[in-house]
Amino acid sequence: MDFVVMVMFILVLSLTASPPFLVPVLGSRYGQWSTERKLINSWGSEDLVTNLPGQPKVHFQHYAGYVTVNEKSGRALFYWFYEASTLPNDKPLVLWLNGASGARLLIGRKGARFALIKKVDKVTRNLHVSGPGCSSVGYGATQEIGPFIVDSEGHALKLNPYAWNTEANMLFVESPVGVGFSYSNTTAEYDSLGDDFTANDAYTFLHKWFLKFPSYKSRMFYVAGESYAGKYVPELAELILDKNKDPSLFIDLRGILLGNPETSDAEDWKGLVDYAWSHAVVSDETHTTIRDSCDFNSNNPWSNEDCSQAVDEVLKQYKVIDIYSLYTSVCIGNSTGSEQTTLQVMFRSTSKMMPRIMGGYDPCLDGYATTYYNRPDVQKALHVSDGQNLKQWSICNMEIFKSWSDSKESVLPIYKKLISAGLRIWVYSGDTDGRVPVLSTRYSLSSLGLPITRAWRPWYHNKQVGGWLQEYKGLTFATFRGAGHAVPIFKPSESLAFFSSFLRGESPSPPFER
């Protein structure tokens, strides 16, 4: 009888104790975890994803759902969290954000903002967009570094052998509200979105997320992202540093990792046009006109008509290729006509013959993700809807893009602050990206005037040159040879090795390991 009483007492404690508490995880879906006891939080367990359509069997758990960041306005951010595939309790937590837009810098200067809305519409109509208003689930998690890649035009998932959750616990957030599944019940808020708004919501999100998953509150923490996240990430890191002065709000931020990041408007623009010229996208005459007439440091460089027309010419040339990946095919899935349809079929056939592991690149991934996340069974599995009242998911929200009200012209002052605080800062560039090209990033980092601690040199992966590397006092910069804007899509194995080096704080493989 005493044994029965003791068992009942333990059961009562498990149901009433404040989280976290130990519960057994059941089911063959989770492989090795099916026979182990795992530390989880009662609130977080409500978001456990158990029946994701098309998901391959995995040996880790993942969670998806909402965190309300403002109760009064009904503002909530959607997240998807993947535990590390092995030893999750021993590995850091990494937040991934996506960000920059196809023609964001056209309206970066306040003086030219409204006058250029029509120009932005004209340019972005035929440009792939990945910026304020775009989804980290649709890009980072689904196409780049998550464990599941959408395949077969949205009908299934395949395992990504180079997923970053092999090295860390990975958290993806659709930010700001209006992006992906994230929303606000106060629609007027969509008109006031900007950098500061986004940083504050992301910060609030983190602390509320830690209430769901308290075992991660004291974990080593990093923030990573690409493109316009080049502004999101430093701004959030600065906010964390400032708030860490209050011990009760402390987050153990160790560093930031940025890929092809928008950094400083003037340098980004100069790099964009110089790169287009140096890679034979535009003529000598167009480049000369830009060089002679454009002052990208001015409040309104577009007031000079010669400058404006010459930059239009650059963007016009980029409309016929993929600005994010100069040397790969464009997606022609929506095109019509027998010739284009034949090309489409040929491309898809070739694409399937070149699997991801061999470096194959499918430019139609955006469409596959859109199909998948608008499925009723997928939304139900991700705790987005009941499977009946669906939410319309898109990979980018162009209304947010066009109405963005606050964009810092440069985050280089924040870089200096983060360097002074001793954070690890690594920046990388795919060298076939024309949108935020390697030249833009080199111009921006050069303007910091940091002392060089290790000179420019190649770094290696599997005995081949992965790119080039330079280490400064407080910052590391690397290129990825032959990679476009979203580097992990093009160089998945190299990217994972680079990410692992970043977490260890060790330089990528040096030449002598070739």
Among the listed residues 182, 410, 433, 495, the single catalytic one is 433
> Residue 42 has what pLDDT?
56
Looking at residue 438, what is its pLDDT? 98
pLDDT tens for 111-151 read 333 333 334 444 433 333 334 889 999 999 999 999 999 98
- Nearest alpha carbon to residue 140 among 501, 491, 492, 488: 488
Report the alpha-carbon distance of residue 121 to residue 125 in Å, rounded: 6
Is 227 considered catalytic here? yes
Residue 114: count of CB within 10 angstroms of its CB: 9
What is the predicted pLDDT for the residue at 355?
Answer: 34
The CA distances from residue 119 to 58, 100, 112, 190, in Å, are 46, 17, 11, 22
Half-sphere exposure for 127 (CA within 13 Å, toward CB): 27
Residue 430: inside a domain? yes
- Residue 340 within any structural domain of the chain: no
For residues 246 and 107, is the Cβ–Cβ distance under 8 A? no
Q: Which of 175, 182, 184, 227 is labelled catalytic? A: 227
In the structure encoding, which two tokens stand for residue 428, read together?
């990388």
Does residue 328 form part of some domain? no
Looking at the domain assignment, is residue 317 inside a domain?
no
Query: 136, 182, 485, 509: which one is catalytic?
Result: 485
pLDDT at 250 (0 to 100): 98
Q: Could you tell me if residue 251 is inside a domain?
A: yes
Task: Note the pLDDT of residue 359.
Answer: 46
In a domain, 77, yes or no: yes
Best CA proximity match to 445, nearest among 421, 412, 481? 412
58 part of a folded domain: yes
Residue in 115, 144, 487 with CA at minimum distance from that of residue 325: 487
Mean pLDDT by 10 residues, the chain (514 residues): 44 40 32 38 82 95 97 97 97 91 37 35 39 87 96 86 98 96 93 94 98 96 96 98 97 98 96 98 98 94 94 95 92 50 32 38 85 96 90 90 87 98 98 97 98 96 96 98 96 98 92 52
In this predicted model, what pLDDT tens digit does every residue of 185-207 receive, in sequence order? 999 899 889 999 999 999 999 99
Domain assignment present for residue 370? The answer is yes
Q: 195: domain CATH number? A: 3.40.50.1820
Active site residue 433: yes
Residue 77: domain span: 41-103+126-263+359-504
How many structural domains are present in the chain? 1
Q: Is 322 a catalytic residue?
A: no
